Structure 1
């Protein structure tokens, strides 16, 4: 699947499923990319993955034909298109709190006239110059997926204005960070947290923007799909590894 196909699925109202990658190794992308998921999220915000490692992980994603999204650790637009130049077409922007901040970051993701993404000459994103500039610009617009994450009270307060910013494909909800912002740290099933998420979903869907959320189980995914969520991250590489090992140890002992 390509990012373009993934984007079309969201526009058609279909659900898509991925998981988080925090282990800094291309083989992690290869293994999870062969599991049948729709995409993988590479987490630069909460891991030790750096740009050289990301470069190798992108090639592993190519080998499996799976789209990769990167959650950035930077608030610098130039860092966004540096990541795109090495072949990433989907970006998650965490800690978005104002429309101005969101617009500033999105400006680094799209080429003119929609943004100020720099033209890097021969880069992996344009097959090292093998395709024309016109074709590259067209592909970049068609395949770019922008995922905005609201995870603070300030972000909630400004959500309607943030949703007005052109170019947002997915508004992603992180229940753990949201629970902390609401004063119920870690209590993702608290009624206040659940009510807030449901209200967010309604507001986001009215704008024609897909809703994303992180879940830990199949049951959670089914529940939120019924509420209108389309874009799911389920668990993460570390959790899969640990749970598998812990289950084996428990059965042996």
Structure 2
């Protein structure tokens, strides 16, 4: 398992920046992984990326030394350690609504005694058995990053108890989903949505856990960095491609 430099930066109180990948291609990971992001979110929840393709994308991430964080599509703990065996060390867990649900998923991420992740023998996650089992288990505990996404009324209501679950590194806020949960779909700048985010940031930071958010642009990222958020996603492969294409076409016209 490679050293998680992104996690180190968070622990040092620094901001980290990444983007979303939904296009099922290792070339996208190579291209975006070369521009200086701290991490990339590989989105299994809202894309056609499957496990064989993820395998290739993980190898592309290794080639660029970029931290890949997988957003899962299922609520099955076994799916998590299957993904970890192919070399993924970090997850963003969507639709977390209760502490019990969160704790069950984290069981699939961590080895005994903290969890119930299965020992798979020689896998990419332990360099195909080259490193010792003890070293692999130590690295897995140290280098894994767990990001929990709160995006519903139930998640908001249970935020305090979710924060008590051991092993959470970041609580990630999706403003679009949050706006819908609060009854203002798409209105991320609505005062109630903004007040809710500020309240969440204070509650989460008071527990010593980092806060993440998706920022629509650099100005929004700067604003939230000034208000206690450290972990940012900005942009997405599809929108970055569209934006570049539109800019080119507008200049040609």
Does the pair score TM above 0.5?
Answer: yes
Give the corresponding residue for 1:95.
Answer: 95
Aligned to 2:141: 141
Distance in 1 (CA, whole Å) between partners of 2:22 and 2:82 is 20
Structure 1 unmatched ranges of 5 or more: none
The DSSP-based 3-state class of the residue aligned with 1:247 is: helix
Superposed, which structure 2 residues align to 1:41-56 within 5 Å?
41-56=41-56
**Match of 1:102, SS?**
helix
- Looking at structure 1, the residues matched to 28 and 45 of structure 2 have their Cα atoms a distance apart, in angstroms, of 17
Whether the 8 Å CA contact 1:151–1:177 is kept in 2: the answer is: yes
Q: 8 Å contact 1:107–1:114 — kept in the other structure?
A: yes
**Counterparts of 2:8 and 2:66 in 1: how far apart (Å)?**
15
Q: What RMSD in Å do the two structures reach over aligned CA positions?
A: 0.7
Per the TM alignment, residue 170 of structure 1 is displaced from its structure 2 partner at its CA by 0.3
TM-score (norm 1): 0.99
Contact in 2 for aligned 1:3/1:144 (Cα 8 Å) = no
Distance (Å, rounded) in 2 between the aligned partners of 1:185 and 1:29: 31
Match of residue 110 from structure 1:
110
Match of 2:186 in 1: 186
Aligned-partner Cα distance in 2 for 1:118–1:138: 15
Structure 2: runs of 5+ lacking an equivalent? none
Conserved 8 A contact 2:4-2:67: no
Structure 1 position 9, deviation (Å): 1.0
The 1-side partners of 2:124 and 2:242 are apart by: 34
Find the counterpart in structure 2 of residue 248 from structure 1: 248
Q: Show the counterpart of 1:38.
A: 38
Residue in 1 that maps onto 2:23: 23
Q: How many residues align?
A: 252
Q: Could you tell me which residue of structure 2 aligns to residue 203 of structure 1?
A: 203
SS of the residue corresponding to residue 29 of structure 1 reads helix
CA shift at 1:5, angstroms?
2.0
Per the TM alignment, residue 3 of structure 1 is displaced from its structure 2 partner at its CA by 5.1
TM-score (norm 2): 0.99
Query: Is the 8 Å Cα contact of residues 3 and 67 (structure 1) preserved in structure 2?
Result: no
- What SS does structure 1 have at the residue aligned with 2:91? strand
